[in-house]
Structure 1
Amino acid sequence: DLVLHALDTAPGSALVFLPGEGEIRRVESALAGRLPADCTLAPLFGAMDFKAQRAAIAPAKTGRKVVLATSIAETSLTIEGVQIVVDGGRARRAQFDPSSGMSRLITDRVTRAEATQRAGRAGRVSEGAAFKLWTRGEEGALAAYPPAEIEAGDLCAFALELAVWGAQADDLKFVTPPHAGRLAEAQAVLHMLGALDATGRITEHGRSLAKMPLHPRLAHMVAKGGRSAPTLAAILSERDPLRGGSVDLALRLDAVAGKRVPAEVNHAALSRIKQDAKRLARGQTGDGPNTLGVLAALAYPDRVALRRKGDAPRYVMSGGKGAILSESDPLAGERLLVATDLDGDPREARIRQAVRLSDSDLRESFADQIGWHKLCVWSRREGRVLARQQERFGALVLDDRAWSDAPAEDIAQAMLDGVRQLGLMPGKAAALFLARARLMGDDFPDFSEDHLLETLEDWLPGHLAGVRSTADWKAFDLLPALTARLSWDDQQALDRAAPAHFTTPLGRKIAIDYSETQPQIALRLQEVFGTTRHPMIAGQPLQITLLSPAQRPVQVTTDLPGFWAGSYADVRKDMRARYPRHPWPEDPTQADPTLRAKPRGT
């Protein structure tokens, strides 16, 4: 509609900016039969043959021309007679796609710089008019400039080129430096493909990959694979040639071979795939494996996917990430797949292209990367230590068996993770010890829970014999492990400064309660007669709850001498009436401690 409005409003030919071929074809179809009689339509995009491109660029012989173009027409060429620009406000740009492991074209909003450049095409040879398919308000939200390619693109080829030069990124000066994390990821991929050695230097295989006009993943597949590898590389490099149907890559290969497939075919994409496959096949020996699943795994060794337990077709990939397949897809029942394209969801990506892989092919092709691993791990879900022997390929567990004779020290190390999850969970005696130890000064060993959990490896493993579950840990006596942290001198210092018991003047031992902010005990008032100095614990007064003969609190004090000299008189007056058989001397500081009562009748 905007194109038709522009042609009615302004003179001259029109240049219409659209993101890509698909949009150009749809707009071309929508305009067919609606343009003025003197207007002709001319598509213009990079995948067209050169003759068609020249025809689109040539000036109209008669009347006006409407050129439907991608951003190729922004700066690379001048189309004579254009006085109208219609900007759809979208552009295709290359962006690294974690879902495919390579750069893919995405459709994004134009930037202000691109919009200005496009509008300028209407004024190249004479005055013109630009029509934009967005509002003034949206104009302010546009980014100023498109991102630099090094910020948005895949860095694998860049990292490979650096290695060919024998250079590090830090050795070079960039207008926009590469992101260190993404560059490290790219180098990890190259190491996985054998293009870099353990020191990060280029290998001979890496040099051969650098000479191929392909992403290093696909170049590795073509170099190591059989006759089908070039065709598969061309399929994976191009947009999906099928719309609808299964995700199975085998169907794409069938379509390239001219077979009928149960899906809508994009013939333009199919034609480009065939041309690229012929070009890539030149010079390829084709003496490697030819099975489709093995070829895909050569390019994506980190995308080999193993079906999880359960009814839903959910997978875990050898690189450690999760993936899910539509339940209606014919591949949904397969145990092993290679996922070559995903939707990019960071938690559990949906598989958009994949191919089946047999267990025997995986074992034969990647025998050097499959091995048995013994492990003891704490299972948060089951609340216990699991001791297993696992046959693994990357993050995939191909076989899993119990490890019945796992060493006790390995089980103890795994149990430490359980302790970190569960916390210390001290029993009554251990809790009392911790409370006492935490009253000591800075020169004493640190018994705070945070420090104990941070240093578990230093003091706990040797005491964990037989402990391997949540129930075992709850029943575990932590006290011996805690006291073992103390030297003889530290233990003596603790007993002196913060003893576990208070010895009364009568020689009776009463457990000190350290659970509150201040240590405390409770005992009969008569039992501390004669005490003229208040007892101290770890530098602070012991809180004493004085009890009546009936064991009821009559006073709480941290200053016995002050109590004797002050409120004792009122307590004595009240208590003498209630408990006449018990001693209530006028001067308790001179009386002997006692728990006895007077005989009846005296």
Structure 2
Amino acid sequence: MKFNPYTSNLPVTDIIEELKTKLKNTNTLIVNAPPGAGKSTILPLVLLEESWLKGQKIIMLEPRRLAARSIATRLADLLGEKVGSRVGYRIRFDNCVSAATQLEVVTEGILTRMLQSDNALEGIGMIIFDEFHERSLFADVALALSREAQQILRPDLRIMIMSATLNMPKLKQLLNAPALVSEGRQYPVEIYYEGENDLKLLPELTSRIVSKAVKNHDGDILVFLPGEAEIKNTEVILRSKHKEIAIHPLYGQLPPQKQFAAIMPSREGRRKIILATSIAETSLTIEGVKVVVDCGFSRTLKFNANTGLSRFETVEITLDSADQRAGRAGRLGPGICYRMWTKATHNRLNKHRTPEIEEADLASLALEMAKWGVNDINKLTWLTLPPKGHVLQANELLEQLDAIEEGRITEHGKAIHSLPCHPRLAHMLLLAQHDDLTALACDIAAILEERDPLNRDAGIDINLRIEALRRYRTGSLKNKRLKHIAKISAQYQKMLNVKEDNSATDPFETGLLLAYAYPERIAHATPGNNAQFKLANGNIAAAGHEDDLAHEDWLSIASVNARDGVGRIFLASPLNPRDLAPMVKTIESISWDTKRGGFSAFEELRIGSIILQQKPLQNYDVERKIKAVSDAVKKEGGWLLDFNAEVEQWQNRIGSLKIWDKNHDWPDVSTNHLLTTNHEWLSPYLTVVKKPEDLKKIELKNVLQHHLSYELQQLLDKLAPERIEVPSGSNIKLKYGPNGEAPVLAVRLQEMFGLLETPTVNNGAIKVLLHLLSPGFKPMQVTDDLNSFWDNTYFEVKKELKARYPKHHWPDNPLKAEPLRGVKRKKS
């Protein structure tokens, strides 16, 4: 059947001819079209017959598996064919393609693997990035690799980026590519703002709004909620209220047949309520929806590079997400959207969602880069650069897993890359083969990749999950979640050529395998236990006091949250310490701990931060000691050193000259800079330091002064002297400010008799600010013009001084009077 796009009457038909023209003349194009415009279903099909394609395939990327399947099905329907003919899909552990397939809809990780196996992408003429505004991690990775392949090997390869909402100017500039805009024909959506929301009461509040929508409007209702827990709780409430309505959950972990049931029209013709996560924002077409209820929250996985852990956080949605969600109600006709927040809250929402690359665990990205042969990832085309800290942490993990060495991928790393899972789990699966534990490792990997199949009250022991999975496979246990987990385990078993094992598990074997995957989460009970464990990465985590594993000495932890203080363990297994022998290292620990008294040097047997044995180290590298103390000074700040008033004045003097005197290169002596660079100037004085008190004894001003060159020391004393001699013969301290303001000379008025001009610094360029004091050192006048003071103000001040200090001598002509250092009594 020949496809005629114009019969669809969808908005993107208006740009088809211009699209074809541009793709004849350029290899990269950006298409901006709102949800429902038809970009995902019309544009890929109209390009199949283009001459520049030369019989090659089109690959279209989707950010989600459900979207890939549903869009492939829709495209095949438009051609009057079954999926797997001219249109097919390929996702993790599932594909439906044939020799006749010309258009493959794939998830982004699939394209990355295709690029790694064939950098030139032979047989592929075009890559389409659909829904690129979702900014998934592997969309960014796939674009970076595709652009490099296009620029170096395949200038004929077409790349088309399709988006509903995105920073178009930035994308156009980055790719140096033209853009086409389809305005779309979105029906009007009436917005109702329902007031402030409360996450704790979300299911109850959402159910109330949904019931209101059921009563006031017809059509199916799409409800956006953060995650599975809120969906299930809301579902329970709604089922008790609306028995006549079909209620369907829709989230990523749901079995595929249930996901399709949610997006397809009801077979019985019943009205539907779809309770969905952000999975339903853009990629999916859900027929019959006229009303949207938006809770205003989404759940995102955020990675903490400091702990090496990721955790789900519930966050406010952004403006682009809110618009896309509301737009779901206006695809078929005028719609309604209930927003569970206020108009004021709406006005302060962020415009765009945070790209996943800024918040995700980048271990897989770093492995892709190593496999690609890229040492400097900044040389690739990134719409958002991967955070340096996350990349550094990812590379450290890959080195720990023996996947890379000196930045280059190892043979073991290539084997890890060949498996379609996180590098941690791939490493575990490969090492399990040496221990004849591959079947167990496959079960563990499948369980860790999916949601916990048991309730929280089952405890943290992952072996209970493995036992449940094996009982499910033998038919002695019913559990819907376990069905999906069993399928994934079977895929790994097939891949690794091992048969399933349903025998009883040895918990210590499970612990060993988890230690392979999460070496930094090997945990030892803290003294006194209290159900708390110290992890090899230095963190502390706790199990419930009544948990079966709470009193174990050693654990391998698979899942733990990253909250501050004491984390919470979710999944773990007992661990036999004898299995840890290959992981034990002898370390010379040379460190500084202020709270524990300062410097220490020990020889330690350790697993990460867990100390198994310790004895004092008599002979140690002094340079390592200096570095340890220096690092402590840098980290803990200036309070370890004696930054007294004299040091502060020395800093202000140089800081002032840095502003005043542009003829010389005065150093940055701000406290922050001095602490950061303390190793350069403080090192010679740290060899004898043992305690915090020793650091305080260091005469900081002298140390810093001697670190200046001889020339600058002389210039400092000349241009910004500490003291100035006044007519009385006194040498009085100047007080310098931090921002180059005039230094202050606080001096008793009587000591200045006979001086006509204001004293200066910086070779006469800067007048000092005189604080003229009474005999009792009280401020009487502030001036930077002493001559004017004698002429105009002195006589007024004199009256007050005579009244307050009648026994002192206050001459009528101060310029001819003798300056007084002490007290000269008035002649009686």
Instruction: Judge same fold: TM > 0.5, yes or no.
Output: yes
Alignment check: 8 A CA contact 2:247 2:273 kept: yes
Q: Which residue of 1 is the match for residue 527 of structure 2?
A: 309
Q: Which residue of 1 is the match for residue 611 of structure 2?
A: 397
1:239 aligns with 2:239: no
Q: Which residue of 1 is the match for residue 594 of structure 2?
A: 380
Q: Which residue of 2 is the match for residue 333 of structure 1?
A: 551
Q: Which residue of 2 is the match for residue 552 of structure 1?
A: none
1:41 aligns with 2:247: yes
Over 3 Å counting, the alpha-carbon distance change for 1:92 and 1:412 in structure 2 is closer
Counterpart among 554, 575, 586 of residue 371 in structure 1:
586
- State the alpha-carbon separation in 1 of the partners of residues 513 and 498 from structure 2: 12
Opposite residue 339 of structure 1, the aligned amino acid is: I
- State the alpha-carbon separation in 1 of the partners of residues 544 and 279 from structure 2: 37
Q: CA deviation at 1:19?
A: 3.2
Q: CA deviation at 1:418?
A: 10
Query: Which structure 1 segments of 5+ residues have no match?
Result: 260-264, 426-447, 486-515, 519-564, 572-602
Alignment check: 8 A CA contact 1:338 1:354 kept: yes
Alignment check: 8 A CA contact 2:599 2:691 kept: yes
Match of 1:291, SS state, is helix
- State the alpha-carbon separation in 1 of the partners of residues 592 and 452 from structure 2: 43
Over 3 Å counting, the alpha-carbon distance change for 1:181 and 1:411 in structure 2 is closer
Opposite residue 442 of structure 2, the aligned amino acid is: P
Alignment check: 8 A CA contact 1:42 1:65 kept: no
Q: Which residue of 1 is the match for residue 293 of structure 2?
A: 86
Counterpart among 464, 482, 494 of residue 282 in structure 1:
494
Opposite residue 229 of structure 1, the aligned amino acid is: A
Alignment check: 8 A CA contact 1:83 1:128 kept: yes
- State the alpha-carbon separation in 2 of the partners of residues 567 and 81 from structure 1: 96
Match of 2:272, SS state, is strand
Q: CA deviation at 1:180?
A: 1.8
Q: Which residue of 2 is the match for residue 538 of structure 1?
A: none
- State the alpha-carbon separation in 1 of the partners of residues 266 and 428 from structure 2: 47
- State the alpha-carbon separation in 2 of the partners of residues 50 and 43 from structure 1: 12
Counterpart among 527, 537, 553 of residue 319 in structure 1:
537
Q: Which residue of 1 is the match for residue 797 of structure 2?
A: none
- State the alpha-carbon separation in 1 of the partners of residues 534 and 254 from structure 2: 41
Alignment check: 8 A CA contact 2:533 2:541 kept: yes
1:297 aligns with 2:504: no
Alignment check: 8 A CA contact 2:305 2:393 kept: no
Q: Which residue of 2 is the match for residue 32 of structure 1?
A: 239
- State the alpha-carbon separation in 2 of the partners of residues 387 and 351 from structure 1: 33
- State the alpha-carbon separation in 2 of the partners of residues 55 and 415 from structure 1: 64
Counterpart among 387, 397, 403 of residue 195 in structure 1:
403
Counterpart among 119, 136, 158 of residue 365 in structure 2:
158
Q: CA deviation at 1:103?
A: 5.4
Alignment check: 8 A CA contact 2:305 2:389 kept: no
Q: Which residue of 1 is the match for residue 271 of structure 2?
A: 65
Q: CA deviation at 1:422?
A: 7.0
- State the alpha-carbon separation in 2 of the partners of residues 78 and 413 from structure 1: 60
Report the more deviating stretch, 161-170 or 311-320. Answer: 311-320
1:182 aligns with 2:394: no
Alignment check: 8 A CA contact 2:523 2:534 kept: yes
Counterpart among 645, 667, 684 of residue 458 in structure 1:
684
Query: Which structure 2 segments of 5+ residues have no match?
Result: 1-207, 500-506, 644-668, 707-731, 735-818
Alignment check: 8 A CA contact 2:561 2:567 kept: yes
Over 3 Å counting, the alpha-carbon distance change for 1:51 and 1:306 in structure 2 is closer
After superposition, residues 88-107 of structure 1 pair within 5 angstroms as: 88-96=295-303, 101=308, 106-107=313-314
Q: CA deviation at 1:269?
A: 3.5
Match of 2:429, SS state, is helix
Opposite residue 547 of structure 2, the aligned amino acid is: D
Opposite residue 559 of structure 2, the aligned amino acid is: D
Over 3 Å counting, the alpha-carbon distance change for 1:271 and 1:20 in structure 2 is farther
Opposite residue 204 of structure 1, the aligned amino acid is: E
After superposition, give the CA deviation of every residue in 1:534-573 in whole Å (9 maximum; x if it has no partner): xxxxxxxxxxxxxxxxxxxxxxxxxxxxxxx9999x99xx
Over 3 Å counting, the alpha-carbon distance change for 1:188 and 1:382 in structure 2 is closer
Opposite residue 482 of structure 2, the aligned amino acid is: L
- State the alpha-carbon separation in 2 of the partners of residues 320 and 20 from structure 1: 31
Counterpart among 481, 495, 502 of residue 269 in structure 1:
481
Larger radius of gyration between Structure 1 and Structure 2: 1
Alignment check: 8 A CA contact 1:241 1:266 kept: no
Q: Which residue of 1 is the match for residue 791 of structure 2?
A: none
Q: CA deviation at 1:165?
A: 1.0
Q: Which residue of 1 is the match for residue 316 of structure 2?
A: 109
Between the two proteins, what is the percent identity of the paired residues?
34
Alignment check: 8 A CA contact 1:100 1:342 kept: no
Aligned length: 475
Opposite residue 400 of structure 1, the aligned amino acid is: Q
Counterpart among 462, 467, 471 of residue 258 in structure 1:
471
Opposite residue 446 of structure 2, the aligned amino acid is: A
Over 3 Å counting, the alpha-carbon distance change for 1:90 and 1:327 in structure 2 is same
Over 3 Å counting, the alpha-carbon distance change for 1:412 and 1:278 in structure 2 is closer
Alignment check: 8 A CA contact 2:534 2:610 kept: yes
Match of 1:247, SS state, is coil
Q: CA deviation at 1:33?
A: 4.4
Alignment check: 8 A CA contact 1:373 1:392 kept: no
Match of 2:404, SS state, is coil
Over 3 Å counting, the alpha-carbon distance change for 1:162 and 1:471 in structure 2 is closer
- State the alpha-carbon separation in 1 of the partners of residues 628 and 362 from structure 2: 38
Q: CA deviation at 1:206?
A: 1.3
- State the alpha-carbon separation in 1 of the partners of residues 445 and 316 from structure 2: 30
- State the alpha-carbon separation in 2 of the partners of residues 114 and 413 from structure 1: 49
Instruction: Give the TM-score normalised by the residue count of structure 1.
Output: 0.65
Match of 2:271, SS state, is strand
Opposite residue 458 of structure 1, the aligned amino acid is: P
Q: CA deviation at 1:387?
A: 4.0
Alignment check: 8 A CA contact 2:588 2:601 kept: no
Opposite residue 398 of structure 2, the aligned amino acid is: L
Q: Which residue of 1 is the match for residue 777 of structure 2?
A: none
Match of 1:108, SS state, is strand
Alignment check: 8 A CA contact 1:100 1:341 kept: no
Report the more deviating stretch, 80-89 or 148-157. Answer: 80-89
Q: CA deviation at 1:517?
A: 7.3
Match of 2:366, SS state, is helix
After superposition, give the CA deviation of every residue in 1:53-78 in whole Å (9 maximum; x if it has no partner): 44433334665422324233332333
Opposite residue 447 of structure 2, the aligned amino acid is: I
Alignment check: 8 A CA contact 2:297 2:317 kept: yes
- State the alpha-carbon separation in 2 of the partners of residues 87 and 392 from structure 1: 51
Q: CA deviation at 1:229?
A: 0.9
Match of 2:524, SS state, is strand
Match of 1:282, SS state, is helix
Alignment check: 8 A CA contact 1:98 1:344 kept: no
Counterpart among 569, 576, 586 of residue 358 in structure 1:
576
Over 3 Å counting, the alpha-carbon distance change for 1:108 and 1:64 in structure 2 is farther
- State the alpha-carbon separation in 1 of the partners of residues 629 and 478 from structure 2: 57
Alignment check: 8 A CA contact 1:13 1:65 kept: yes
Q: Which residue of 2 is the match for residue 548 of structure 1?
A: none
After superposition, give the CA deviation of every residue in 1:450-496 in whole Å (9 maximum; x if it has no partner): 999974543674xx5xx96689999x999xx99xx9xxxxxxxxxxx
Opposite residue 616 of structure 2, the aligned amino acid is: A
Over 3 Å counting, the alpha-carbon distance change for 1:257 and 1:387 in structure 2 is same
- State the alpha-carbon separation in 1 of the partners of residues 498 and 615 from structure 2: 39
Alignment check: 8 A CA contact 1:209 1:216 kept: yes
After superposition, give the CA deviation of every residue in 1:69-103 in whole Å (9 maximum; x if it has no partner): 42333323333332222223333444336699465
Opposite residue 130 of structure 1, the aligned amino acid is: C
Match of 2:556, SS state, is strand
